[in-house]
Structure formats: structure tokens, C-alpha cells
Structure 1
């Protein structure tokens, strides 16, 4: 192996002396010699100080990993944390911040938490002992059985009953943990994942911070100028995935998977089943894992104006036939991520789920899920809630109604400011076109992403409204922002519209 080079000739990242010193402070690592003769990958001939050399290598590895983890998971996290202690209230704090960056549904969260607490308190004595010790790290059999029934009664109705059982489900502390575990298990460090863009901003951190998998955006530009609230956003295509894969290979990374979000974050729309299947066929033909992130599958609140949502689990057999693969082989490549944070309004509960028929993946998750397990009492209470089908039906109907009301309020607020957005029928977002505002604010004929960042900062400091920059979602051109509408109330959305209008008028 060449000095300073890793697997397959890839150049290893090196810390500058200044960064290394800072990392040691953060991680409380010991001072190490800078003598190159003691650094293993620079040694010429036999190492004369194996113990010292090993300490240097371990310290450098710890510094590299730790230093990368100290980077914020999101570029707007600092602003969000600054806003939290000073949030808008129409009476108590009318000049407070309005954060529209949180992909969180608070509309029914208190109802769900109260119900979970009551069921938690009603744990029978004969169950207490069984949940106070270790259990299967995939998740308790009871919860996985309840989740299978939940899937079959909601967004996996088109999948046969024998194909949706507890044996096909694993849980972990959040959907982000599921994504990270899949990246760790399905790819090697330095490999890549193809993601239709724009996409959820935190995917970059989920893939890179520990698994060291490189995200490669696959943008689709078609229809983006038609941000009229009615026209659908562009849909991913095999052509855009193929172009991204070629770009990944050109840059020296090996594509291992496609991460496909449906319904879309940040677009807030359902991808038609035909488009999902076409992209899945492309992935299967190229022997890439198809990870379908369906965390908003039960948040399609405007179904009459959206194409029918169809889970990847219901499409995989047809896609496999088209790709020329046997069903058992397809099972190894298609995996569905879902969870409780979005559809059940409890982000703080930290319950993410995976559906897969790959017993190899299930077996591996049984190991790594040890590091991100969900407490047994939480699992018990959640299973009891999911088993109450009458309560769940009423909850979902009410949640759909509230989401639609919030979407309409956010759309009206943007209209006050003269800002349009793509059609939003699912999830928690509007994807808004600020390109006119960006040109006016930047005074540039062709604004850049630096101008977009300046607009983001000005909106935060002057209008005290926080929105997600399109660059964070890997939008290919500057001027688009994600607006999350379910983490604040209607009065906050209305005030945000008035502030945006004043801000734009004052430019």
C-alpha cells in the first residue's frame, strides 16, 4: 500500500497540525510525536517503535473520526438552536422567531404521548419482568408483530399477508439509525449512495459521519419553473440515476445503493408507482440496493389530488421480473424504511423501522441494533397503541385533516408574500420558489448559492423566519427553500407570511 493511501488507492484524509491539535482538545487525546519515523504509514522498512507507532495511528484515527463528527449535522442547526429559546407567540412574544425548518409533526403529538403514557402505566404485572431485561435487539416479537399488522392495514395493503410478518421487520432508535445501519452494512467506506435530488438534508450526515458512504445527488430539473401549487414536482427517472452513478464512478466511488424517498422530503408529493418501479428496475439491473424511505407513507393528507401511494414492497416482484431476477434475489436488494416519528407525530420517541425480506440483512441488524435499541417499555406501550385499531383509525383521520389545514395555511401565507410552491399532498413541507426574491436581494443577474446563503441569513436576522436552503437539499440551482408547516401553529404561519411580505417589500 502506498504511504498515505487507503483501500483501492483512495487518498486518506489528513489533518493539518492545527486541526489535529484542536481534535485532541475535543477528544482529550494525548499529545503524540510529529516525528514521521513513528507514523506507521510513513515508516520506511521495519517499524522501530511499534507501540509508539500504534498509539500515533490510533490517535490519528480517533482525531479524524471525532473531528468529522464535531461538524454540525445541518448547516442551519446553529440558527435553529438560537431561535428555540425565543419562539414567536402572538401575545407573549410577538417578535419571536418562527422556525419553519423542522420536519416534525406537532399537530397531534401531545395526544399520542398522553395515550402512550397511559398505556405505559397500565403494563400488567406479569409483563413487567419480561420487559425489564434484554430482548431481541431487532425489537420485541410483540412490537414487530403489531408493526406487521399496522403495515398490512395501511400502506402495504397490496402486499400478501405471508410477506409482511414480524420476521421481516427490525426496529432501531429512529429512521436515521436504520439508514445509517443500512449504509454500514450494504456498503464499504468510500462507496457511494445515489439519491434523487432535492433530498432530505440530514441524509448527508446519516451516510457519512460513521459509515463514510458518499452521497451522490441525482437531480431532475423538469417542471421546476412551474411552482404554482398545482403542478407536481419533477419525479426521479432512471436517466437521472444513471447520470449520477456515472458521476460517482468518475469520482472514484462505487455506487452500492439508491435511497429513494417517497413521499418526498422536501417536495411534499407522492411519486407515481410507475416512476418508482422504473427506478427500481434500473437499480436491480445494476445490482444496487433499493432503499425506499417511506416515513411519510401514512401522511398522504390530500390523496384526492395525489397519485396513489404504492410501497416499494408491493412493486418489487414486478420490478424483479422486468429486471430478469428471481424473487429470492430481489428480496436481497429491496428494503423499506418507515417509522413513528412523522406519521405518529412522536419524533422524540425514537422508533425507526425496516421492512426487508433479506434474512442476511435481518441477521446483521440483530447484531448492530444492539447499539441503537429502543427501550422495552416504549416498545410495549407502542405495540398496545398500534393494536388499538379503532384509536389508530380515528387518529389518522384527524391527523390528515390537521395536516391539510396547516398546508393550506402555509400556502396562503406564502401567497401573501407572492411566493409560489410545488404541489404538496403529503408529508410536512412546501417546496417554495424564492428565485425572484433572491434576484432582488442579491442584485445579481445570475445569483449563486452564496447569494442564497446570504438570503437565508437575512430572513433569519431581519424577518426572524427560518427556512431550509435549497442547497442543503442539493437542489441544482439557487433560490429554492423548504418550508415545514406542521411544527408550528396556524398563527405562526400567518405571521411568517406577513413578515416575508414586509421583508420582500423592503428590499
Structure 2
């Protein structure tokens, strides 16, 4: 009675990444009403600089009231239908802001931008434009768990992993790229491109210029596309400059139609609820098609108007970016130092809203079941929702992504305290009521077989995605 798309199980919702969210929603931590609840550390959301945004809104209240700088109402203009090309003022301001994030080393033509309802829509739209069902994109591991949904579910595109290793801090190499390409062709898949996140989600590292040059040389040699998801481009906090693929390919006209950038205001400005996504491409055929597709997921005119004024305020954007990076660095250091007290080290990182934590020494046993067992203990016994490396398709067991910017400093202190107590209690074999005095709920009976049985066939199915 229903379509195959509805009945198939290719959404990725049975991943531990999404299942952890479900358990958090059943038992969310609240300092007053539910102090023993689960703390959400699986959500890469930036809540550290809301006060700066709110201060700007208070000083520019007429914008939120839909009034122009002359005091005239623009409500009717915003309420009426706007075509899918977007407001010119917003596209101009967004193009300038994207250039500012990249040190003004590159420029973005507003006419080469396509507005979408968030990053998810932008990535899916690019897949529809660049590949047919059954074609493949190569992605370096570990990668964002939501890509199984965003890139594959409705498009029919296959993901082939580029196997990266902790032995070189998960850097992308020519050999790993060639290996992934060979594996794809062996499966008789037509490779249409490579997709990276820069800065990386979940690693929290910026992609180096040599890596970007390797990627550009590779896609040129194979005559395929390169998509760079740069939603975290304003979060680099260690003083090093973020290098966009647009800077590396500057002046290479012959490649301009094969390199595409995706951006969003969800991470840098902490506005995921505003649903602001954008595609940049010098390929006008892609821009034309993506613009038509954007009619299925438009950004509201009200959002565009408000943000066009905010982003055009250069004094504000400079102040915001500097202070936000300072706060991210401080919070990152707080989590890293706290994890060290628990005997857990992190991959050295310089961007993002999370740390890539190494818990391999805590696995009992040292296999997939061991990682899932540790994840369940941390989720149900400790009360922390973190994302296991297997949900990010990491080839090495025992890594976890832990977010730090979506909570108060006090909540982070509590989360670290819980984790320290957990590790100190017989290497993590803590009782239902741990040393930190928590009494957490047992796993819900409705949890998926994928989590409860932890079977080998399920692991193989997860790896095949």
C-alpha cells in the first residue's frame, strides 16, 4: 500500500547516534526537575554566544519589528511571496560574511549562491545535482552520522568510506583516496565525487592545505566532483587560519565547475532553528538546477531580512567571531582537561564544537560489542549521551565524539564529574547506583534490536553503509 521509500530502512535512524538522542529525550537532565537525567553531549550546538546575539537584537529592535532603517514597516513585503532566488540584500551580506570567515582570501559571487532550509537540504540538493541513484561519493572516515540520511536516503547515492587512521591523526592521503576509489569500482559503482567536512565533524580538526591540494589533484585526475561541507568554518579557535578549498582552487578555471562548497549559520552563529543553508558553486548548471530544487525547502523571507541586517553590521560580526572563538577555546580546554582527569585523551583539535575522545583502553572486550557495551554504560549508568565512533563509521573501535558547547559550564562540570567517577569505579564497571549517587533508568524496552542484541550481522550491516 505504501511506497518502497517509506518501507525501506535506509534512513539511518537505527544508528546509535540517533538512538542516544531518543534515550536523552525520554530522560533529559534538568538541574532542578531531573538532576539525575541524561546530559546531552551528542548534540553539536553552539549556545556559548547567545548573549552577544541578544544584545545586538536589543540594540536593533526595529529589525525584529520588520521596520526599515527609516522606520517604515516592511511587514507586507516580507509576508508576500518571494521567489526562490532569495533576497538580494541577504545574499550579498552572506557572501561577504563567508569571505570574512576565510580571511577575505577569496570572494563569493552572490549570484553563485543557492539558499536552502539548512545544511541538510543543501547537502541533499548537491547530491541530486551531482549523482544519479546507484552512483557513489567517497567520504573520509570518521564522518558525521547524519550523512547516511542526508546523502543517501532520498537520492539513492552510495557512500564509500575513505579509511583514515589514528596513526596519522586521521589525515587524508593519496593512498587512502586511491584505495576507496578502487573498492568502489570493484563494486561496479560509478564514483561521482568526494565529500569532506572542513573543519572535520567529528574530529574537530581543520583540513590542511597539503591535504586539500591532494584532494584537488585527485578529483582532477579522476574527473569527478569535490564537495566541501564548511559549516564549522568560523569555529577554529587556536589562532590558526581556516583554509577553504575555494582558496586552494583560486584561479584554477578548469576545475571551477567541479568544486562546490556548502555552508550554514547553524554552527558559527548558533542558529540551527533559523534553517539557513547555502550552496556555492561556479558551475552555473548546478546553480540553476539547485535553485529550482530549493523551492522544496525555502528559507523564510523574515529570516533573510533579519540576518541581512545583522551580517551587514561588520563591527558586530568582527566582535562576535573573535569572542565566540575565545569562548569555544576555553570550553574546549575545560572538557579536554576534565577528560584527562578521567584518564581519557583526545585527538589534538583546533575547531568545532566537540572533542574526539580515545577510550580504547576502556573497551571490555576489545571489539564492536565492547564499544556498544561501553556506550550503553555511559548512556544509562553515567547519564551522558555521547556518540560512539562506530556511528561515525570509524574503522577503529573505542573513539567517541563528545560535544561541549550546548550546555552551561556547570552542566559540563557535572558531566565530567560523572565520567571521572565512572572510570574510577573498577575501570568503568560501575553499579546501577554509582559513586556519584545517580539512579538512572534501565534501557527502555522499546530500544532497537541494533542496540539490545549487539549482533555481528548488525555490525556488518552498519559497516556496509
TM bin, normalised by shorter chain, reads: 0.7 to 0.9
The alpha carbon displacement at 1:277 in A equals 1.4
Q: Which among 252, 259, 273 is matched to residue 195 of structure 2?
A: 259
Q: Is the 8 A contact 1:73 1:205 kept in 2?
A: no
The CA deviation at 1:89 is 4.4
Q: For 1:122-133, list aligned pairs within 5 A.
A: 122-124=66-68, 125=72, 127-133=74-80
Q: CA deviation at 1:126?
A: 5.6
Q: CA deviation at 1:157?
A: 1.2
Q: Which residue matches 2:305?
A: 380
Q: Which has the larger radius of gyration?
A: 1
Contact kept? 2:66, 2:74, Cα under 8 Å: no
Say whether residues 1:348 and 2:273 are aligned partners: yes
Could you list the per-position Cα deviations for residues 233-288 of structure 1 after superposition, in whole angstroms to 9, with x for gaps in the alignment?
33212221111111111122111111111111111111111211111110122111
Distance in 2 (alpha carbons) for counterparts of 1:316 and 1:393: 26
1:79 corresponds in structure 2 to 20
Instruction: Return the alpha-carbon distance in structure 1 between the equivalents of residues 51 and 297 of structure 2.
Output: 25
8 Å CA contact retained: 2:20, 2:386: no
Alignment CA distance shift 1:181-1:475 (3 Å): same
- The 3-state SS of whatever aligns with 1:354 is strand
Q: Do the aligned partners of residues 398 and 317 (structure 1) sit closer, same or farther apart at CA in structure 2, a change above 3 Å counting?
A: closer
Distance 1:73 1:410 in 2: 28
Asked whether the equivalents of residues 180 and 206 of structure 1 are also in contact (C-alpha less than 8 Å), the reply is yes
* Structure 2 residue aligned with 1:316: 249
Report the counterpart of residue 466 of structure 1 in structure 2.
385
Any conservation in 1 of the 2:115–2:291 contact (CA below 8 Å)? no
State the 1:469 CA deviation. Answer: 0.6
1:116 and 1:172 mapped to 2: Cα distance? 24
1:194·1:244 contact (CA, 8 Å) conserved in 2? yes
Query: SS of the counterpart of 1:68?
Result: coil
For residue 165 of structure 2, the aligned residue among 221, 239, 246 is 221
Query: Mean alpha-carbon deviation: is it higher for 250-259 or for 365-374?
Result: 250-259
Distance 1:343 1:85 in 2: 29
The match for 1:361 is 286
Q: 1:101 touches 1:483 (CA, 8 Å); kept in 2? A: yes
Report 1:34-433 matches (<5 A).
59=2, 62-68=3-9, 72=13, 74-84=15-25, 86-90=27-31, 92-109=33-50, 111-112=52-53, 115=56, 118=61, 119-124=63-68, 125=72, 127-155=74-102, 157-159=104-106, 161=107, 164-223=108-167, 233-303=169-239, 306=240, 308-317=241-250, 320=252, 327=253, 329-433=254-358
Check whether the contact 1:88–1:492 (CA below 8 A) recurs between aligned residues: no
Q: Which residue matches 1:43?
A: none
Equivalents in 2 of 1:344, 1:184: separation in Å? 28
Distance, in Å, in 2 between the alignment partners of 1:431 and 1:251 is 31
Deviation at 1:113, TM superposition (A): 5.8
In 2, Cα distance between equivalents of 1:171 and 1:500: 41
Q: What is the distance in 2 between the residues matched to 1:139 and 1:68?
A: 35
TM-score normalised over the length of structure 2? 0.85
Q: Residue 490 of structure 1 corresponds to which residue in structure 2? A: 409
- Considering only aligned residues, what root-mean-square deviation do their CA atoms show, in Å? 2.0
How far 1:190 sits from its partner (Å)?
0.8
Give the TM-score normalised by structure 1.
0.79
Alpha-carbon displacement from aligned partner over 1:422-444 (angstroms, at most 9, x marks no partner): 11211111101010011xxx2x3
Q: Is the 8 A contact 1:100 1:466 kept in 2?
A: yes
Q: Are the equivalent residues in 1 in contact too, given 2:12–2:146 (CA < 8 A)?
A: no
CA deviation after TM superposition for structure 1 residue 69, in Å: 6.4
Q: Any idea what SS the aligned residue of 2:249 has? A: helix
1:64, distance to aligned residue in structure 2 (A)? 3.5
Closer/same/farther in 2, CA of residues 169 and 421 from structure 1, 3 Å limit: same
- 1:154 offset after TM fit, Å? 2.5
Q: Distance in 2 between matches of 1:222 and 1:479?
A: 11
- Whole-Å separation in 2 of the counterparts to 1:463 and 1:452: 15
Note the alpha carbon deviations across 1:45-74, whole angstroms, 9 max, x for none: xxxxxxxxxxxxxx5xx1344433665174
CA distance, structure 1, for counterparts of residue 349 and residue 183 of structure 2: 30
Q: Across the two proteins, how many residue pairs are aligned to each other? A: 420
Runs of at least 5 residues in structure 1 that lack an aligned partner in the other structure: 1-28, 30-58, 225-232, 321-326
Q: Secondary structure at the match of 1:477?
A: coil
Per-residue deviation, 1:408: 1.1
Q: Is the 8 A contact 1:194 1:259 kept in 2?
A: yes
Please state whether the residue corresponding to 1:199 is helix, strand or coil.
coil
* 1:68-110 CA-partner distances (Å, limit 9, x unpaired): 3665174332332332364334555432211111111111236
